Amino acid sequence: MNFIYPQFLWALLAIAVPIIIHLFNFRKFKKVYFSDVRLLRQVELETSKKSNIKHLLILLMRILAITSLVLAFAQPFWKKEGQANSVGEKLVTVYVDNSLSMNNSWTDFTLLDHAKKQARTLAQNFSQSDKFQLITNEFDPVHQRFLTKEQFLTEVDEIEISSNTRKLDQVEQKQLDFLMKEFAQNKYAFYLSDFQKSTTNLGQLEMDSTIQLTFVPILPESIGNVFIDSVWFDSPVRMVNKKEQLFVKLVNSTSDDLQVKLELSLNGQVKGLVNADVLMNSEKVVTLDYVIQNPGKVEGKLSVSEYPNPTAIFDDTYYFSYLLKEESKVLVINESPEYLAAKNGSINQLFSNDPFFKVTNVVSSSINYGLFAESDLIILNEVKQYTSGLISQLLTYCEAGGSILYIPSSQPDLTSNNELLLAGASGRITQKDTANTKVSYLELENPFFKDVFQKTPKNMDLPVVLQSYVIRFSGQSSRQSLMKTQNGHPFLVESTVGKGKFFSLSVSLSPSFSNFTSHSLFVTTLLRIAESSGINQEIALTTETGKLRIREEGITSENIRVVGRRQQLEFIPETELVGGELEVFLNGELSESGNYEVVSQEKVVAAFGVNYHRDESDFEGYTLEDLQPFAAQPWVNLLDVSALQNSGESPQFIDSSRKLWKWFVLLALVFLVCEILLIKILN
């Protein structure tokens, strides 16, 4: 037996009072004179024995009555091994899962409605003096304190669906941090959730034995779902009047083959509609084609309609946005100043025919590095020698997402050129090959050549190569030979450097090297490099994304605003300039899906979509049978809410049968009654 208030046991010293009264009889005797007391001696002896027994019984009743009252105030209880106390002050922390999946239905109500109901019910099992903590997926600072019972019930009523998702071990750590700060014998933790397998990492839980833990699974009627998982384009750069091919990944996690309707809307207008059959428990990629004819902001929305009935709606839409520029800027770094007029040379003549490309020519001896951040593509046109400063700036530009085309000089400085090529993961020049050959291989499976040829001829006329530089590669790097000569040497190589691309040719543009500049493939190659250049915009984020990067001409960290017009949201984010890019920190401000934009000086400098995380789209969760092994410990309980609902009973979260103080109060009354009876009967 244990005591909640053992300090009251000091009151047991009060039993000394009746003992003292018994030992020292303080009653005053009155003298009565008799002439002869010989006849009273026998009566006196008999009366004395009866009186002693009477006084001892009364003394015992008084001692027992006082002892019972003292024990009642000390509040004794029986403590079962491995279980928390059910008496005394209690600290109760309750996690109510309010993630998107809790918006699913169960018996005409949402799972969240049932969770809130159970949270209110469990609070009724505790007394007014107990302390409560409420945890939801927001980890709201308001909940980082103890609440009274009335405050807890009020907070429960205000819980709403949230786009935030939390792993169960994160919730447990939050509870432990909170409970361990307080001293109490009775600590309770409750988890009210649908226990999705995608977010419930039960194996990571500590399950502290000093805390009475209760799992309350609230499971949906159906675990199947059809949703849009992800969206992407076939090329990284968007252009005006270019056919865009959009890929949409659909997931059917139901046990039925379903037909779905996929609708594409751009800037509020429906631009595409596809009916797709998605087999049960499978994925399917659907493609949609469209063309945008005007530059500016493009706000996209994909919607999927499920048949016969949708089970969830938060993942039936997918938002994406991006900006279409009016022009693409190409910076050409030349060895000779003759190209500064932008009239001479194959490169200038090529881009002069397309108004979308704006070409700026500079010479290698006088470069304004500020032009790098403004350029979508930098062409190194036969520069003989590269300084370490130029190489460093080019590498920084490429790693940030820029594209570079390296064209070797007819008389290069091999040391500096190789330093540049190695920095661009494009090998190194070992020698010059003067053997006559020709381009014989194109990597047609690479997206670089997508839609270049309507039909690939068997005997394609390819450029003739009179001499070229042999480029050797060492180790493994992210590169690919887009073109090769007959002798197997690379002609055009594409390498990945950070977020950018580094293209390198093995021939000079001089006719003494090849007829590449007069071949139709020259136009196709340079235009495709220019079209695929530029910063790969982040078209879609999730509500949990912390930041995004923007690369825009002249952008600064001042007067930046993030705007969601449909959501009527606008805030000033924290920003930081890093390597010519502006980092915008979102800090969890975007809690609703939709199309958003970043505005600087009243100009839209970036556009992106925000979507809810798809971790919540897989409704498969832990069943009661799955949770049984985790409830094997005596301090871990498992409550079947559905069974209680069917039976009409209310759940009992704590056991009150171990409280003993009432019994000791009753015993005290019994002993007092016995004392009175002894006085009356034996008088």
User: Per-residue pLDDT tens for 156-196?
Assistant: 999 999 988 889 999 999 888 888 887 777 889 999 999 98
Residues 6+ apart with CB under 8 A from 344: 338
- Beta-ladder partners of 297: 323
Residue 109's alpha-carbon distances to 115, 164, 264, 389, 455, in angstroms, are 10, 21, 32, 66, 58
Is pLDDT larger for residue 534 or for residue 442?
Answer: 442
d(C-alpha 214, C-alpha 206), whole Å: 14
Q: Which of 440, 522, 453 is nearest to 483 (CA)?
A: 440
Note the pLDDT tens digit of each residue in 276-322.
999 989 999 999 999 998 889 999 999 998 655 555 578 889 999 99
Residue 609 pLDDT > 90: yes
User: How is 230-281 classified by DSSP, letter by letter?
Assistant: EEEESSS---TT-EEEEEEEEEE-SSS-EEEEEEEEETTEEEEEEEEEE-TT
Phi, psi values for residue 13, rounded to 5° = -65, -20
Find the mean pLDDT for residues 601-606. Answer: 88
Note the pLDDT tens digit of each residue in 62-80.
888 888 888 888 877 665 5
d(C-alpha 654, C-alpha 147), whole Å: 19
Reported as half-sphere exposure (CB side, CA atoms, 13 A), residue 397 has a value of 25
- Beta-ladder partners of 430: none
CB atoms inside a 10 Å sphere around CB 526: 22
Residues 6+ apart with CB under 8 A from 480: 443, 446, 493, 494, 495
Could you tell me the strand order of the sheet in which 464-465 lies?
Answer: 357-363, 328-334, 377-381, 403-407, 500-505, 490-497, 479-485, 437-442, 464-465
Q: Quick one: tokens of 650?
A: 């209310």
Which pLDDT belongs to residue 306? 62
Residue 354 pLDDT > 50: yes
Q: Alpha helices of 103-167 — where are they, by DSSP H?
A: 111-124, 149-157
Q: Quick one: tokens of 534?
A: 């530029």
d(C-alpha 74, C-alpha 327), whole Å: 84
- Beta-ladder partners of 216: 192
Residue 483's alpha-carbon distances to 7, 412, 441, in angstroms, are 90, 22, 5
Task: Kindly give the pairing relationship between strand 282-291 and strand 243-252.
Answer: antiparallel
Which pLDDT belongs to residue 344? 79
Length of the chain: 683
d(C-alpha 157, C-alpha 364), whole Å: 69
Residue 571 pLDDT > 70: yes
Handedness of CA 159, 160, 161, 163 (dihedral sign): negative
Which pLDDT belongs to residue 7? 74
- Judge whether 249 and 318 are in contact, CB under 8 Å: no
Q: Which of 500, 506, 488 is nearest to 417 (CA)?
A: 506
Three-state SS letters, 497-539: ECCEEEEEECCCCCCCCECHHHCHHHHHHHHHHHHCCCCCCCC
CB atoms inside a 10 Å sphere around CB 589: 14
d(C-alpha 15, C-alpha 668), whole Å: 13
Residue 345 pLDDT > 90: no
Residue 645 pLDDT > 80: no
d(C-alpha 45, C-alpha 43), whole Å: 6
Which pLDDT belongs to residue 550? 84
Note the pLDDT tens digit of each residue in 578-590.
766 788 999 888 9
Bond from prior residue into 18 cis (ω within 30 degrees of 0): no
Q: Alpha helices of 575-660 — where are they, by DSSP H?
A: 624-627, 641-647
Residues 6+ apart with CB under 8 A from 355: 327
- Judge whether 508 and 410 are in contact, CB under 8 Å: yes
Percent of the chain with pLDDT over 90: 33
d(C-alpha 213, C-alpha 219), whole Å: 19
Residue 552 pLDDT > 80: no
d(C-alpha 496, C-alpha 399), whole Å: 9
Residue 454 pLDDT > 70: no
d(C-alpha 58, C-alpha 65), whole Å: 10
- Beta-ladder partners of 106: 109
Q: Quick one: tokens of 59?
A: 């003394």
Residue 111 pLDDT > 60: yes
d(C-alpha 203, C-alpha 158), whole Å: 31
d(C-alpha 227, C-alpha 520), whole Å: 45
Residue 115's alpha-carbon distances to 188, 202, 573, in angstroms, are 17, 19, 35
Q: Which stretch of 36-45, 64-73, 242-251, 645-654 has the lowest confidence by average pLDDT? A: 645-654
Single-letter amino acid, residue 448: F
Q: Which stretch of 38-47, 211-220, 626-635 has the lowest confidence by average pLDDT? A: 38-47
| Strand residues in 54-185 grouped as ranges (E) | 76-77, 90-96, 105-106, 109-110, 131-135
For the entire predicted model, the pTM comes to 0.70
Residue 469 pLDDT > 90: yes
- Judge whether 638 and 631 are in contact, CB under 8 Å: yes
Which pLDDT belongs to residue 311? 55
Which pLDDT belongs to residue 683? 61
What is the number of helices (H) and of strands (E) in the chain? 13, 35
- Which residue, chain included where needed, has tokens 């016995």? 674
- Which residue, chain included where needed, has tokens 């009642």? 72
Residue 43 pLDDT > 80: no
Residue 610's alpha-carbon distances to 527, 539, 575, 606, in angstroms, are 32, 9, 19, 13
Residue 84 pLDDT > 50: no
Check residue 198 and report its DSSP letter: T
Percent of the chain with pLDDT over 70: 87
Residue 536 pLDDT > 70: no
Find the mean pLDDT for residues 488-494. Answer: 91
Burial (CB count within 10 angstroms: exposed 0-12, middle 13-18, buried 19+), residue 122: buried
Core vs surface per residue 449-478: b (16+ CB within 10 A) or e: beeeeeeeeeeeebbebbbbbbbebeeeee
Note the pLDDT tens digit of each residue in 616-626.
888 888 888 88
Residue 39 pLDDT > 90: no
